Structures are given as C-alpha cells and as structure tokens.
Amino acid sequence: MRIARAPTDRRPAPAEPSAEPAAAPPTSVGPPAEVRLNTGATRRAVRLSVVFVLGIAGVYALLVALTFAGPAAGSAGASQGLLWSGVAAVLVAVAGAVVSLGSAPRAVELGEGSTVVVGRFGHRYAFPGRYQLRTTVLRRFRAGPMSPVPMESVEIAGGTSRRSFLIDEGLLATAGHDPAASP
C-alpha cells in the first residue's frame, strides 16, 4: 500500500518589499598588518616528536627482542601480545607527536583589530588586537639541541578565550604595548 502525499509548493515565497534597504553583505577583513612565522618552535616540536617516536620504537624493539629470546617465543600468546603492544606503541607515538606538534603554532597574524594564531593543523585562534592582548610567559627555554633559538611557553588571553602556545622568544613582543600611549 502506498501512502499518498499532499502536493507541496517547493518554490520559496516571494520576498515582501520593505521600506528599508537591504543590508550590505559583510566585507572580508583585509590582510593582517604583520605575519610572524614561528620557525624556531616548529623545529623544536618536530625534533621533539622525532625523539619521542624513536624512543617508543626503541622500547617496542626491546620488547620484541625479549619476547623472541624467551622460552615461549613461538607461542600464539606471545605473538598476540606483540600485536597488541605494537598497536599501543603506534597509538602512543601518534598521540605524542600530535600533542608535541600541536603546541607550536605555525604563525601569528598581528593586526590592529585582531590577533590570529594559526595552529599547526590549520585551526585559527582569534584574539583581540595586538594592543588589547594579554600575554603571560609561563616558561622560558634556552637555545639548545632541540631548538637553535630561545623559546617561550606563553598564555595568550583576550576576551573570553585563553590558550597556551610554544612560540619563539619575542614573537609577541609588541602585544599589549601600545606605542601611541607611550609618552
């Protein structure tokens, strides 16, 4: 049995004329005043991810060697245990690399009306303009084998949002300091 439907008019209703002119579509914001790349922190995050992944791979290789050296080397339980520990090692390595890379944004776009932090995986974090931005240095890292330049772990706050990032030292040097307000 087929249920009959009532016919419907799929055309939109005609717009009623109004006395007010139509609002103009919002215009796109122009390019930022300055784009600062976060190259040192990126290098540090990549190197830290590589060290972490190699460490996990080394621990897994040691586990495999110990398993094959033991008396139950050819048993089904040993190979099943290696399989599950291999899956766990891959998941831990990927999660660690994502966390390490995610803390270091690609760039910071400083503008008069907004500051945008471009995340490693493309997410854009918007904050107020560079002179309304509140930054707090949580920790400083000296230059070393992981990074050729000094780093800062900073907390950026503005409006209702607050985030922590690993950035090159001085990347947000003018944030919060309005040169027009200085005597």
pLDDT tens for 132-175 read 778 889 999 999 888 889 999 999 887 778 889 999 988 887 65
The pLDDT assigned to 181 comes to 46
pLDDT-based confidence at residue 14 (cuts at 50, 70, 90): low
- Note whether residue 50 is domain-resident: yes
pLDDT of residue 65: 87
Tell me whether residue 74 is in a domain.
Answer: yes
Mean pLDDT of 44-65: 92
Expressed as residue numbers, the domain containing 133 is 35-176
Q: How many domains does the chain have?
A: 1
The amino acid occupying position 47 is: R
Q: If you ran DSSP here, which 8-state letter would residue 168 be given?
A: E
The 10s digit of each residue's pLDDT in 97-117 is 999 898 899 999 887 788 889
* Distance, C-alpha 112 to centroid of its chain: 23
Calculate the alpha carbon distances from 171 to 11, 39, 113, 116, 139 in Å. 54, 10, 18, 13, 14
Q: 3 in a domain, yes or no?
A: no
Q: Assign residue 170 a region (left: φ > 0; alpha: ψ between -120 and 50; beta: otherwise).
A: left
19 lies in some domain:
no
Residue 12: inside a domain, yes or no? no
Domain assignment present for residue 1? The answer is no
Residue type, 144: G
Q: Is pLDDT at 38 greater than 70 in this prediction?
A: yes
Residue 180 per-residue DSSP state: G
The chain-wide mean pLDDT, for the chain, equals 78
Residue 103 domain flag: yes
Contacts (Cβ under 8 Å, ≥6 apart) of 64: 82
112 in a domain, yes or no?
Answer: yes
